[in-house]
Amino acid sequence: MTAPPTNAPVGTSDDTSLRTNSLGVLGVTMTVVSAAAPLTVMAGVAPVALAVGGVGVPSAYLLAGVVLTVFAIGFTAMASSIPRTGGFFVYIGHAFGGTAGFAAAVVAIVSYNCLQIGVYGLFGVQTQAALQDLFGLDVPWPVITVVAVVAVYLLGIRGIDLGARVLTVLIVLEAGILSLLALAIVFQGGADGLGVASFDPSNVFTEGTMATIGICFAAFMGFESTALYRAEAKDARRTIPRATFLAVAFMGLFYCFVVWTIVQALGQDNVEAGAGEAGPALFFTTINTYLGPWAEHAMYVLVVTSVYASQLAFHHAINRYVHGMARHGALPAAFARTNRAGSPVVAGTVQTVLALVVVLGFAAFGADPFTDLLIGVNTPGVVGVVLLQAVASLAAVRFFLRHRDVPRRPLVIGSSVLAAVLMLLVIWQFLDHIAVFTGAPPEMNRVLVSVIPVVVVLAVVAGLVMRRVRPDVIAELAHEGEDEEVVR
């Protein structure tokens, strides 16, 4: 079975082609950085990391960026070598066979949906706070969230090029407000002068700081989805690697700098106590102190647009995973259908309905939008994505061991081995300190930890069944007989 060409013309209502040559390096970078939602993870989650990890947390963000950079070496080498769209499942299938590729796709779809749908809880909370701060309105979070789900869908079906332009504007605005805050703290000298205790190894490699590593990695979620936009990228062999490294470098350095300035604002000897006392209001009270009430109001607005940007970016990523699976025959063909804008309209509609069902279900049972919807649903997603990164690193090792004439082969193989080890260590640290991330009782944490292993088992079983009933699909996912497609 051969998938339809990804560069087929766009324009008919029953097409399955994405819009080619729509995204350059900046467009892909902004799309994936938007998924990470820098302002949201800083204002919404970094205070928790500081309250637990203390003065060494800025270096934890930097360490997360370094680990992901090591991972990106092998990941982008595979993206350049295999001219197919699909991200994790393409590379894992190519290295370990179609059953593994099918299972990886299922895990990826579940994980990305957990990340996207869970964040709708944060959108409800943040928008509710913004409306209260700016207009004195008290709007129920489920109402806000339903509107957001529909708004994401309406922009998503307009096409990736329009979405990328909107995301670029929103990222510039949210990075701008964080930069203004950081620079104001630096120029005013913080609480009692500037210091570099955050980079002292004795403050970094501590039990408290290492307990926050899962929080720090969660701040980068979605950066690896650059490979999903291969069919829509201009000169994909160059665009995808450049966008991947640019995204992870920007986030790692930016997160580290911003959190370091917040440490200075709190005072290096008062980080844990100060962050714990301020709680979720830390960034808002700090920007009020250093820039004034206008900046606090602006941050409330931009946090809302930041979460919206994240939701739109993840919506695009999930749709392209589903679209890719359908084009390879592993899902019904209808999921591959695109509209005149080159957007996977059926996949987007189904994902939107799923999000509405989950959100309304949580609301009906009186769940808390932050602790239950955001943290509870996001946690399996974080585990799933980091696990896929580890397996993708092993896939890169296997792939490049078989292809001896690839440039910089020793570097790619060595970095991929190191990345796999580091990713497994990250998973271990995250699970060992999961209570820090969730704040949930042990019974609930055991349930959250078990979600992805259960999904993996079911996905493998489904893949084995698919191998028996549709061997052509499994062969397609394994790229059997297609080694000649490897770009050298």
Residue 382 CB burial class (10 angstroms; 0-12, 13-18, ≥19): buried
> DSSP string covering 133-165, please?
HHH-----HHHHHHHHHHHHHHHHTT-HHHHHH
pLDDT for res 191? 92
Two tokens, residue 477 = 């996912």
Sign of CA dihedral 390, 396, 402, 404: negative
DSSP state of 233: B
Q: Which of 222, 198, 197, 253 is nearest to 65 (CA)?
A: 253
Residue 304 CB burial class (10 angstroms; 0-12, 13-18, ≥19): buried
> DSSP string covering 260-309, please?
HHHHHHH-TTSHHHHHHHHGGGHHHHHHHHHH-HHHHHHHHHHHHHHHHH
Q: Which of 245, 267, 251 is nearest to 216 (CA)?
A: 251
Identity of the residue numbered 455: V
Orientation angle between helical segments 471-478 and 88-96, nearest 10 degrees = 100
Residue 120 CB burial class (10 angstroms; 0-12, 13-18, ≥19): buried
pLDDT for res 483? 42
CA 245 → CA 90, 268, 306, distances in Å? 20, 31, 22
Residues 405 and 121: their CA atoms lie apart, in Å, by: 48
Contact 430, 112 (CB under 8 A): no
Two tokens, residue 69 = 């950079």
pLDDT for res 99? 93
229 alpha-carbon distance from chain centroid: 14
Contact 327, 3 (CB under 8 A): yes
190: left (phi over 0), alpha (psi -120 to 50) or beta: left
pLDDT for res 159? 65
Residues 102 and 322: their CA atoms lie apart, in Å, by: 11
Two tokens, residue 276 = 């714990």
Rounded to two decimals, the pTM is: 0.86
Q: pLDDT tens, position by position, for the chain (488 residues)?
A: 334 344 443 444 446 555 565 656 777 777 677 777 789 889 888 998 999 999 999 999 999 999 999 999 998 888 878 777 667 888 898 899 999 999 998 999 999 899 889 989 988 988 998 898 889 999 999 999 999 999 999 888 876 555 567 777 888 888 999 999 999 999 999 998 999 999 999 999 988 888 888 889 888 887 776 666 666 667 667 788 888 898 899 999 999 999 999 999 999 999 999 999 998 889 999 999 999 999 999 999 998 888 888 888 788 888 888 888 888 788 888 998 888 877 888 999 999 999 999 999 999 999 999 889 988 999 999 899 999 999 999 999 998 998 877 777 889 999 999 999 999 999 998 898 888 878 888 899 999 999 999 999 999 999 999 999 989 888 888 774 444 344 44
Two tokens, residue 413 = 């193989």
Contact 243, 32 (CB under 8 A): yes
What phi and psi, each to the nearest 5 degrees, are found at residue 369? -65, -25
Contact 263, 182 (CB under 8 A): no
Q: Which of 168, 232, 190 is nearest to 32 (CA)?
A: 168
Report which secondary-structure segment, H or E, holds 259: helix 236-266
Sign of CA dihedral 463, 468, 472, 475: positive
Identity of the residue numbered 440: A
Q: Which of 65, 71, 1, 160 is nearest to 416 (CA)?
A: 71
DSSP state of 469: H
Sign of CA dihedral 475, 343, 19, 35: negative
Q: Which CATH number fits domain 25-481: 1.20.1740.10, 1.10.3210.10, 3.10.129.10, 2.170.190.11?
A: 1.20.1740.10
Q: In 417-429, which positions are buried (b, 16+ CB within 10 angstroms) versus exposed (e)?
A: bbbbebbbebbeb
Contact 75, 240 (CB under 8 A): no
List the domain boundaries for the chain. Answer: 25-481
